[in-house]
Amino acid sequence: MKTNLFQGFRQRIAFTSLSRYLALVILFVIASLLAPGFLSLQNVMNLLRSFSFLGFISIGMTFVILSAGIDLSVASILAFSGVVLGLFQHWGIYLGHVDKLSLIFPTPYIFLTVLAIGTLLGFVNGLVITKLKIVDFAATLGMMVFARGLAFAISGGRTIFNLDGMALFMGRGMIGNIPFVAILWVSAIVVCTVLLRYTVFGKNLYACGENPVAARLSGIDPVFYKIAVYSISGFFAALAGICMAGRLNLGEPRVAQGWELDAIAAVVIGGTSFAGGKGGVVQTILGVVIIGMIRNILSLLGILPDPQEMIMGGVLLLAVIFGSLGSRKGSLAHA
Amino acid sequence: MKPKPNRVLADYGLYFVLLALVLVSAILSPLFFSYNNLANLLTQASFTGLLALGMTFVILMGGIDLSVGSMVGFASILYATVLHGALFTFMPKEIFVYQGAPKLTPILPLPLDVLFVLAVGAFFGLISGFISYRFRIHSFIVTLCVMIFTRGLAVSYTHGQPLFGVPDSISYLAYGLPAKIPMPTIIWLGASLLCLLFLRYTRFGRGIYAVGGGEEAARLSGIQPAWYRIFPYIASGFFAALVGIMMSGRMGCGDPKIGQGWELDAIAAVVIGGTSLSGGKGSIGGTVVGVLIMGLVINILNLLEIQAYPQAMAKGIIIVGALALHSVLSRRRSR
Amino acid sequence: MNPSDAALLEARGITKIYPGVVALDNVDFQVNAGEVHCLAGENGAGKSTLIEIIGGSYTKDAGTIRLQGREVEFANPRHAQELGVAVLHQEIPILPHLSVAENIFLSRQPVSGARLISYAEMNRQARRWLEVIQADIDPRTLLGDLPISRQQLVSIAKALSLEARVIIFDEPSAVLTIAELKRLFQIIASLKAEGRGIVYISHRLEEIFEIGDRVTVLRNGKLAGTESIGRIDRGTLIKMLVGREIDESQTGGGASSVEGLAPVLEVRGLNRKGVLEDISFTLHKGEILGVYGLVGAGRTELARALIGADRVDSGDILLEGRKLKISSPREAIRNGLCLSPEDRKTQGVFLEKSVQDNICLPSLNSLKGGLFLSYGKIAKYAADFVSKLRIVTPHLQQYVKFLSGGNQQKVVLAKWLGMKLKVFIFDEPTRGIDVGAKEEIRGLIKKLAREGKAVIVISSEIPEILVISDRVAVMHEGRIEALLRRQEATREKLMAYSMGAKSE
Amino acid sequence: MKKRVLLVLSVLLIAAALLGAQAKKILIGFSHVSMNNPYYLAMDKAARDTAAARGADIIVLNAEEDISKQIADIESLMVKGVKGLIVNSTTEYGTMPIIKKAKAMGIPVVAIDRPLYGDYLAYVGIDQWKAGELQGEFFTKKLLPAGGNILLIIGDPGCPASIGRGNGMLSILDRPENKGKYKILATYKASYNQMLGMQKMEEGIAAYGDKIDLVYCANDSMALGAQAALANAGMEDVLVAGIDGQKEAYAEIMKGGQYKSTVINNSWEITQKAVNLLVDYLDKKVQPKEKSVITGTILVTADNVKKYYDQNAVF
């Protein structure tokens, strides 16, 4: 009898994950029908680039949600990182001459510093959650408001124009005819997948996500993993922030408002469970691409941004309902 | 087994904080106790306050409602369009024809149009609640989709343009001063009182606590969860619509972009008020205090002429601070 | 037994089918007024399904239920309650943030004229029901603040407050202290006297013989028979339960006596305020130390303290003479101690993970090929234990939640076997496991001891303690009341010490 | 416990830093719509400088494009007892009721940069509609005499500036001689911000690709953003036009690239005028001559850009 149950279960799983790939294929077909040049290398590369930025924070978000947490602060950290980058390259702002580059130290170091700061903010999230025992949602909500405010405060709310070449390369650079961000993103995906699948860290992370109590009794320290995932999330937010700034050639505190929600949506559409312990980076990427594709198709159809939003909402809702039908009390079910 | 002293603190610590804040504010600014300022403070708190009421129901039940902010915008525009007879008529595609000040042709008489909009709000809530319950999808996701959808709908509905022409009777809801008390405050506190009675003294109210505290347990004690799980969203949608209408009054027009990010303010207020995001624990009283604390801090920062950006940071600190306070005071948990 | 029309509740031909499983197959069951009808059967035999159907939680696929001859269809638990059938569930469903009174009267709160709840009235009534069972609990306390056993009392009060004609007790004894259990039996007796029908489910045969009038046994979904207690003895009942003979009385742990065995674990003056008090004992190589005590005596707390899951205020733990400073299970495991926790499903295994993942989790570090995990090694490692412990699973990828309790327990055991551990602590290793599997698990534990491991077995079942241990430590209120050799350990002594009687 | 102390302390500290700003000069308030582009930043600076020069105290509050925050800002300005208000309104109607309230409290309101609906003392700014018309003329006469597809990027739909600048241009395209020659592909909203301008342009490119002949933005910041997006996509042939006369825009026009034209809308001058007007009114009871003070609107193209470009202008 157990085998029966089990097979049923297996089929459902297969069904849902398959359905996602299927959806993706269909989307691509539709798109290439709408726009002949759609599958041209050029366009695919552009798409890849456009996915990367949200893609980065979605990777971080995946780690967090795997640990049964949620991180609302990513978008704010992203914006903050961009602004910090801008300021480090325009130290002169405080001396009044705005648009002249005046690096306080070489750009590579600036990158490292920004990444460090992002990671630190994530780390703080982790500390607040584990040490002060505050719910992930509320703690990161606090960080979200705080970091965004900080980004505005240090930039005085102004946009910082013109970054230096290396920063621009992060966002716009091409290697051959492949966008640099895309390369960065894909390699991040690979690394994280390996990290989750083929290392003790990954396995233990899944364990903590599903059942921290049991994990602790099995000799795993859930606190460490909680803090780790939020730091990782912070790191990717900062990375996305740098690339975004490079792409826009701006340090802009208003960037990426609401992206945390897009990232969460992507992760969930991908099928990573809110309850923790189920899912993975690859699924998330599925989610990111599916959402990106839908938007892309809507624009191809010449639908204006606002109705696009509306349709997005509807489509996403249908998608999650469909997903939930696939796996009863599955990926999206109440914990 | 009598309540432990720190339990008392845990329950009332917040009120002390509020008191302390009032005192500090009074010391810091002579203006604080001026009638205008207090009226101001209360008026501005009222809108978040009303949203937070609905949100309290949802969070008590163990869910979350991200769609209220968008609902405010939609209700506001919906109310205005009800007055324009422009109901259910999308504007032309490359909308950019300037209406001038549109002429007011109500298609529903005064009390009815308000009721209509409130009903629509409740209906949207019903949808979210039903989907989340029926398909067992995490309310975060459902309401996220509804949020995107509603905002998109509101904005594409009028292509983002505010619609002018809201009768004075509605402006009275926002600016009226019966007995020198701001109308919004009367509505807010009145509603709070009703909700408080409802949650504390009716079986249905207690049922919401029960379902939030443990659905299975509630079920076995003879509670059928369905309505308890759905109703909170209806309440939340209702209050959002109410706020939307009042905002129309406050702006003298319907604006589809109003209310962005208010859902987070509402949630913040609720959790500051000590309602647990895991459901089943909390109170309307706490929420009211939470709203007041947030309003108070912003108000005093205003009086001290501290610019908007540090204010945002302050908000973040309050959220985490208040929650830390809660978790410190009620540290009997964690077996 | 005569199917008299005095039958309060009569279920005929009850059948319940799950996808691929026949949970109940044409089962008859009846309760007469003023009788205690015990329901027995191994896990998965269908007891719970049956009472869930009788209690209105599940719907039946076939069969009829009659209340005093009138046929009824229960729509939901509420409906069943209104018709006078109350179920006292095994894992007590509680609402921790609501008061005791509200938990009792949830959705039946006494309301005043304006349909507003009157808390005074509710508390008064609640107090009355609590007095009936002589539990001094303030109805205003939050249920979450009460210890499990008292929560159980509250749910008993609730069951009574429903004033049902048929009350179903689903393994109430699991968490009750001896004293509370005695009180429960008195209550049941009085209910019986009032002419209500009682259904009593238990794994503990002695209880069945103590209070039952009749016993109905289910075996994998089918009716194995209904007998009146007078007519049967232990042996036949067990036979009915498992369908074969099982010799309960065979004994013998690893070592016959602990003299001359090398001490492995020494515990000196372990203290934790209000929980553990001056715990000291020595555990030898190849010895099985049974720890007996009533719920709340501090057995589980002792185990958790030993592996650093809870911190202690003072005291030393020495492993092979080496002083350990253990502040987390992690370090405990590093040092060679492990715990198989009491609550298997929520603390022992990862239900949503495969057998393979569960078994390998703690030893992953040794299953790497170079820098990364080698799934080949992992599978081999897991398969190895699955065959060694005869874990019944279709394959390694089976989710643990689909395994039977016994096999889950084996998975927990397998988790630790692969590591070079010295001390194994089992907290209620056979709780909620059916009789057959119990034997197997005990066998494995003994084997462990014979291989020279030091083992602690915590159990609230005296027979189990007597069967398995070389020495028995009896705990009472956080202290070790007595350390007995198996030869001198008797049922009576354990009882006496566990209730704090210094000497008999 | 600790947290509460911390809370109080933090408030106290901030307070300590800011106490002592009490003087007996006239206090005026400036409710600013946003600081998300140089144009607005210039207004902010101009307002403070001019007020200082006139010996008045000024409080500038930034509504961050949120009408409800703007209303709240104006309310708290009233609480602080400002004698007069300068309002750069987020939406044309949205501030109407609160301005009514101000009037009732005897606080004169000067609308700046964006015309207001309601009872105000005066409006200082350019003729938004005229600015749109100038661009329209330029498109139809010079840039696309043969007609073409135009992508419109406005600030905020409710914003009178956008309405004027947009419809002004459209009104030219609707002229009989231009009927049917021009097509508006779509209207995007980028709330006058360079980054958003760029992102919207990218959406536009994704949707319409090389159909686009010209991008007309309701201000230069968005135009600069759009231009960057076009450059990234290698669409140097698409023409770009903005409004406001931001110096980066001048620089672009001088380069003679795809950035073709803008219209002067000197935020510094406007703000200066507005503050002076208000202070005069409050100080010397000088009634403004006309209800709307219109500053010059001049089309700037490659031909005349040299004349206006100033390397170290604030804006």
Chain B positions touching A311 (Cβ under 8 A) are 152
Domain C262-336+421-498, CATH 3.30.450.20 — does that match? Answer: no
Pair of tokens at residue C111: 């309301």
For the cut 50, the answer to whether the pLDDT of residue B265 exceeds it is yes
Q: What is the mean pLDDT of chain A?
A: 86
What's the rounded Cα separation, in Å, for the pair B271 and B277?
7
Query: Does A19 reside within a domain?
Result: no
Q: For the residues C224-242, what does the mean pLDDT come to?
A: 83
pLDDT band for position D253 (cuts 50, 70, 90):
very high
Q: Which of B22-36, B95-109, C164-178, D99-113 has the lowest mean pLDDT?
A: B95-109
Among the partner residues C98, C109, C138, nearest to B213 by beta-carbon distance? C98
For the cut 90, the answer to whether the pLDDT of residue A241 exceeds it is yes
pLDDT of residue A9: 41
For the cut 80, the answer to whether the pLDDT of residue A244 exceeds it is yes
Question: Which comes out higher in pLDDT, residue C182 or D47?
Answer: D47
pLDDT in tens, B33-47: 999 999 999 999 999
Q: Which of residues 214-253 of A touch C (CB under 8 A)?
A: 214, 216-221
Touching subunits of A (3+ CB pairs, under 8 Å) are B, C, D
For the cut 80, the answer to whether the pLDDT of residue C402 exceeds it is yes
Among the partner residues C347, C348, C364, nearest to A200 by beta-carbon distance? C364
Q: For the residues C263-280, what does the mean pLDDT come to?
A: 90
Per the DSSP assignment, residues forming a β-bridge with C167 are C86, C198
Sequence length of chain D is: 315
Q: For the residues A312-335, what does the mean pLDDT come to?
A: 67
pLDDT in tens, D11-69: 655 655 555 444 468 999 999 998 888 899 899 999 999 999 999 999 999 998 899 99
Taking only Cα atoms into account, the Rg of chain C, rounded to an integer number of angstroms, comes to: 24
Record: contact C394-A3, CB cut-off 8 A: yes
Question: 3-state SS string over D109-132?
Answer: EEEECCCCCCCCCEEEECCHHHHH
Burial (CB < 10 A; 0-12, 13-18, 19+), residue D236, is exposed
pLDDT in tens, C117-135: 999 999 999 999 999 888 8
CB–CB of A134/B323 below 8 Å?
A: yes
Chain A positions touching B314 (Cβ under 8 A) are 149
Chain C positions touching A221 (Cβ under 8 A) are 328, 330
What's the rounded Cα separation, in Å, for the pair A77 and A84?
10
Among the partner residues D18, D94, D98, nearest to B304 by beta-carbon distance? D18
How much of chain D, in percent, has pLDDT values that exceed 90?
Answer: 49
Report which of B4, B66, B32 is spatially closest to residue B237, judged by C-alpha positions: B66
The domain ranges of chain C are 1-84+164-246, 92-163, 262-336+421-498, 348-419
The domain ranges of chain D are 24-125+267-284, 128-264+300-308
pLDDT of residue B1: 38
How much of chain A, in percent, has pLDDT values that exceed 90?
Answer: 52
For the cut 50, the answer to whether the pLDDT of residue B114 exceeds it is yes
For the cut 90, the answer to whether the pLDDT of residue C371 exceeds it is no
Q: Beginning with the edge strand found earlier in the chain, give each strand of the sheet holding C214-219 in spatial order.
A: C85-88, C166-170, C197-201, C36-41, C214-219, C222-228
Record: contact D195-A304, CB cut-off 8 A: no
Touching subunits of D (3+ CB pairs, under 8 Å) are A, B
pLDDT in tens, B212-230: 988 888 888 878 889 999 9
In the DSSP assignment, the letter for residue C276 is E
Q: How far is B281 from chain A (nearest CA, A)?
A: 14
Intra-chain end-to-end CA distance of chain A, in Å: 26
pLDDT in tens, A167-206: 999 988 889 889 999 999 999 999 999 999 999 999 999 9
pLDDT of residue A305: 79
Pair of tokens at residue D16: 């300590």
Intra-chain end-to-end CA distance of chain D, in Å: 50
Q: Beginning with the edge strand found earlier in the chain, give each strand of the sheet holding D57-62 in spatial order.
A: D57-62, D27-32, D84-87, D109-112, D122-125, D292-294
Q: Which residue out of B209, B221, B228, B330 would a mutagenesis test of the C interface target, given it has the greatest number of C Cβ atoms within 10 Å?
A: B221
Chain A positions touching C333 (Cβ under 8 A) are 218-219
Q: How far is B55 from chain D (nearest CA, A)?
A: 20
Domains D24-125+267-284 and D128-264+300-308 share a fold: yes
pLDDT in tens, C293-341: 877 788 899 999 999 998 889 999 999 888 988 889 999 999 999 999 9
How much of chain C, in percent, has pLDDT values that exceed 70?
Answer: 92
Backbone angles phi, psi at B63, to 5 degrees: -115, -165
pLDDT of residue C503: 43
Q: Which residue out of C300, C368, C402 would a mutagenesis test of the A interface target, given it has the greatest number of A Cβ atoms within 10 Å?
A: C402
Residue of D nearest to B37 (CA): D79
pLDDT of residue B83: 77
How much of chain C, in percent, has pLDDT values that exceed 90?
Answer: 29
Q: How many CB atoms lie within 10 A of CB A68?
A: 22
What's the rounded Cα separation, in Å, for the pair A333 and A329?
5
Query: Does A309 reside within a domain?
Result: no
Per the DSSP assignment, residues forming a β-bridge with C197 are C166
pLDDT of residue C293: 84
- Interface residues of chain A, partner chain D, Cβ below 8 Å: 50, 99, 156-159, 161, 172, 248-250, 252, 254-255, 296, 299-300, 302, 304-305
Chain C positions touching A276 (Cβ under 8 A) are none
> What is the DSSP code string of C1-67?
----TTEEEEEEEEEEEETTEEEEEEEEEEEETT-EEEEEE-TTSSHHHHHHHHHTSS--SEEEEEE
- The contacts of residue B237 (CB under 8 Å, 6+ apart) are B54, B67, B68, B71, B121, B122, B123, B124, B125, B126, B128
For the cut 60, the answer to whether the pLDDT of residue B310 exceeds it is yes
Residue of D nearest to A100 (CA): D312
Which residues constitute the domain of residue A77?
41-292
Per the DSSP assignment, residues forming a β-bridge with C474 are C292, C482
pLDDT in tens, C135-159: 888 999 988 888 777 888 888 888 8
Q: For the residues A29-37, what does the mean pLDDT come to?
A: 83
Burial (CB < 10 A; 0-12, 13-18, 19+), residue D210, is exposed
Record: contact A1-C332, CB cut-off 8 A: no
Torsion angle, CA of C246/C249/C252/C258, rounded to 10 degrees?
150
Q: Which fold has domain C1-84+164-246?
A: Rossmann fold (3.40.50)
For residue A283, give the CATH number of its domain: 1.10.3470
Query: Does A22 reside within a domain?
Result: no
Which ranges of C344-461 would DSSP assign to H, the alpha helix?
Answer: 355-360, 375-388, 405-417, 435-450
pLDDT of residue B105: 66
Pair of tokens at residue B117: 């909009």
Report which of B194, B200, B285 is spatially closest to residue B242, judged by C-alpha positions: B194
Pair of tokens at residue A5: 């149950």
User: For chain A, what is the domain count?
Assistant: 1
pLDDT of residue C256: 54
Chain D positions touching B171 (Cβ under 8 A) are 97
Question: Which comes out higher in pLDDT, residue C256 or A284?
Answer: A284
Pair of tokens at residue D173: 């395209």
Chain A positions touching D203 (Cβ under 8 A) are 299, 305
Query: Does A227 reside within a domain?
Result: yes
Query: Does A335 reside within a domain?
Result: no
Q: Which residue out of A80, A294, A317 would a mutagenesis test of the B interface target, given it has the greatest number of B Cβ atoms within 10 Å?
A: A317
Query: Does A328 reside within a domain?
Result: no
Q: For the residues A9-16, what does the mean pLDDT come to?
A: 46
Record: contact C77-B1, CB cut-off 8 A: no
Q: How far is A272 from chain C (nearest CA, A)?
A: 14
Question: Which comes out higher in pLDDT, residue B323 or C247?
Answer: B323
Which residues in C190-343 belong to E strands, given as ranges?
197-201, 214-219, 222-228, 263-272, 276-284, 288-293, 314-319, 322-324, 337-340
Between A and C, how many residue pairs show a Cβ–Cβ distance under 8 A? 89
pLDDT in tens, C437-480: 888 899 999 999 999 899 999 987 788 888 889 999 999 888 89
Domains in chain B, start-ordered, CATH in brackets? 5-20+30-329 (1.10.3470)
A2 in contact with B at a CB cutoff of 8 Å? Answer: no
Among the partner residues A157, A252, A305, nearest to D195 by beta-carbon distance? A252
Q: For the residues A98-118, what does the mean pLDDT come to?
A: 86
Chain B positions touching D132 (Cβ under 8 A) are none
pLDDT band for position B266 (cuts 50, 70, 90):
very high
Taking only Cα atoms into account, the Rg of chain A, rounded to an integer number of angstroms, comes to: 21
A2 in contact with C at a CB cutoff of 8 Å? Answer: yes
Domains C1-84+164-246 and C262-336+421-498 share a fold: yes
Task: Bin C214: left if φ > 0, else alpha if -120 < ψ < 50, else beta.
Answer: beta
**Chains D and C are touching, with contact defined as 3 or more CB–CB pairs separated by less than 8 Å:** no
**Chains A and B are touching, with contact defined as 3 or more CB–CB pairs separated by less than 8 Å:** yes
Domain D128-264+300-308, CATH 3.40.50.970 — does that match? Answer: no
pLDDT of residue A105: 83
Pair of tokens at residue B333: 């948990």
The domain at D24-125+267-284 falls in which architecture? Answer: 3-Layer(aba) Sandwich (3.40)
Query: Does A23 reside within a domain?
Result: no
Q: What is the mean pLDDT of chain C?
A: 85
pLDDT band for position B331 (cuts 50, 70, 90):
low
ipTM, interface predicted TM-score of the complex: 0.86
Q: For the residues D295-311, what does the mean pLDDT come to?
A: 87
